[in-house]
Every structure is written in C-alpha cells, then in structure tokens.
Structure 1
Amino acid sequence: MYWRGMDGFSVLFPADLAPWAGVVLLGVSFLGSFVTVALGIGGGALLLAVMASLMSPAALIPVHGVVQLGSNLFRAGLMIRHCHWPPILAFAGGSAAGAVLGGAVAIDLPPGAVLIGVGAFVIFSVVARPPRWLRRN
C-alpha cells in the first residue's frame, strides 16, 4: 500500500504503524470520546489499552498525550462559556511544570516498564474503588 506517502496520512500516523491500525485507532478514539462524554470517565483508559496493543511503547505515551490534548481542547472549546476560570488558572502552572518533568522522565523509560505501567493503570482504573471523598454516599 502506497497511500501513506501520497497524501496527508503520513503526517497523522507513525511510520511503523500499519494503515489498518491507524484506522482502528481513529475509531477507538471516537468511541473513547463518546464513552467519556456519556460516562464522564474511561475513554482515555480505553484508548490507552488499545494503543498499547498496536503501537510501540516509545510512541505510546507521546501519541496518547497528543490525542488526549486534542480531544480535551475540542471539548473545552465547546464548553468555553461555562468554564470557571479561577481553578483553571490555578492548575495551569502546575500542569505545565508536570508536563515538562513528566516528558523528561517518559523519554528514558524502558519499553517493558511502559507496558507494565499502562497495564497496571488500566487494571487499577477498572477494579479500584474511588476514594471516600469522591463517593456519592
């Protein structure tokens, strides 16, 4: 298949990702966004689990971060009139510092550690109970 270099798809997908896998990831990204909108949580973990089975560990964290950034910016753009700005501004500085420090650490992680961490996160997010202060009753 030569369609990858003939148009804009080569920009969208990593070079080592099969075209069918890219289409699957686009579909799962849409499904994950729907899950998050409908349930409030879970779409990112769903996408992360599927991405871990289709992508190299070196590309997993940065690509997932970019996908989540785009999804969340789009959702924020839709709801911009309803945003309460003081908490957003308070978290912005810490978020920027965390992104810089987290990116520096993520680059040096061995691929096996990335896959184990992703698997542990997905399992934990499925079976763990929320902290008492987050429970409704």
Structure 2
Amino acid sequence: MEFLAGDLLTPLSVIGLIILSAVTSMISAAFGAGGGLMLLVVMASLLPMSIVIPVHGLVQLGSNANRFMLTFKHLDKSMFVYFSLGGIIGAFAASAIVTRIPLELMKIVVAGFVLYLLWGVTPKLRETSALWRSAAGAVTTYQQC
C-alpha cells in the first residue's frame, strides 16, 4: 500500500491511520498504556520521520483529550493543575530540542525512547508537593514529545 502521494498522505493511508489510532487507543483504554507506543512504532515503520512526530502528537492529543473529557469527574484536580503546568514547560523544552535533531538521528532517538518505555525503570514519585507534581508533568511531557 502506498502511504504517500508526493508529500501528502493518500486517502487510503489516512483511513488506515485513523483505524490504527482507534485500535491503539482502545488498547490504551483497556490496558492503561501501550497504545500510543504501538502507534508510534507502526507509524515510524511506514512513514517518513519528518511527519511521524507531528502526526503522532496530533493523534495522541485527540485520543487523550477524549479520555480526559470522559474521566474528568474522577481527576485529582490539584494533581491535574500542577502536572499541566509542568507539562507546558516540558512541551516547550522538547520542542526546542526535537526540532533541532536531524531526521536520521531521530530514528535512533525514537528507537531509544521505545526501548526505554519498554524496559526502563519507572521512577517512584513519593512526594506530592506542587514542585514534584509540576516536575512529573514536565518530565512526562518531555518524554512524550
């Protein structure tokens, strides 16, 4: 299946990516994690790196915004505020760095990120102060960008 027509995604590839994003979103909803990573790996296998990161980011934004709206009443509002503030800082930091990485090196960075998510040590966040919540948001968002 041809995924690109010149510099644009073909209509069939767009439909395939939408279906894939729905399936991987269901995986995340059912198991708590993993769908976004699966989507990233498949997209990195099929698409040029120049579009993988922005398209994956938009798909994740839609998926996570939907999950956020459906579970809003169950959120720890204090955690949400501080995590979001840290997330904004992490997003700006990641954007400043990721946009400067050459595309060939980006493949290695994405592969390293996938391996870290699969086998890396998950930090234990024992503190619940505003600073720790903000730091968790910054680090998590930075890793996802």
**TM superposition score normalised by structure 1:** 0.77
Distance 2:11 2:124 in 1: 44
Alpha-carbon contact 1:32-1:43 (below 8 Å) kept: yes
Corresponding residue for 1:27?
19
Distance 1:130 1:104 in 2: 26
**TM superposition score normalised by structure 2:** 0.73
- Report % sequence identity: 35
Q: What displacement does 1:119 show? A: 1.9
Residues 1:80 and 1:51: Cα distance change in structure 2 (over 3 Å): same
The runs of 5 or more residues in structure 2 that have no matched partner are: 1-5, 126-145
Following superposition of structure 1 onto structure 2, how do residues 84-123 of structure 1 map, counting pairs within 5 Å? 84-123=76-115
The runs of 5 or more residues in structure 1 that have no matched partner are: 1-13
| Cα deviation 1:65-110 (Å, max 9, x = unaligned) | 1111111111010111111100111112111111112112111111
Distance 2:92 2:123 in 1: 31
| Cα deviation 1:3-24 (Å, max 9, x = unaligned) | xxxxxxxxxxx94323332222
Amino acid at match of 2:115: I
Distance 2:123 2:93 in 1: 30
Corresponding residue for 1:65?
57
Q: What displacement does 1:53 show? A: 1.8
Corresponding residue for 1:47?
39
Equivalent pairs counted in the alignment come to 120
**Larger RCO of the pair (alpha carbons < 8 Å, separation 6+):** 2
Amino acid at match of 1:104: A
Alpha-carbon contact 1:52-1:60 (below 8 Å) kept: yes
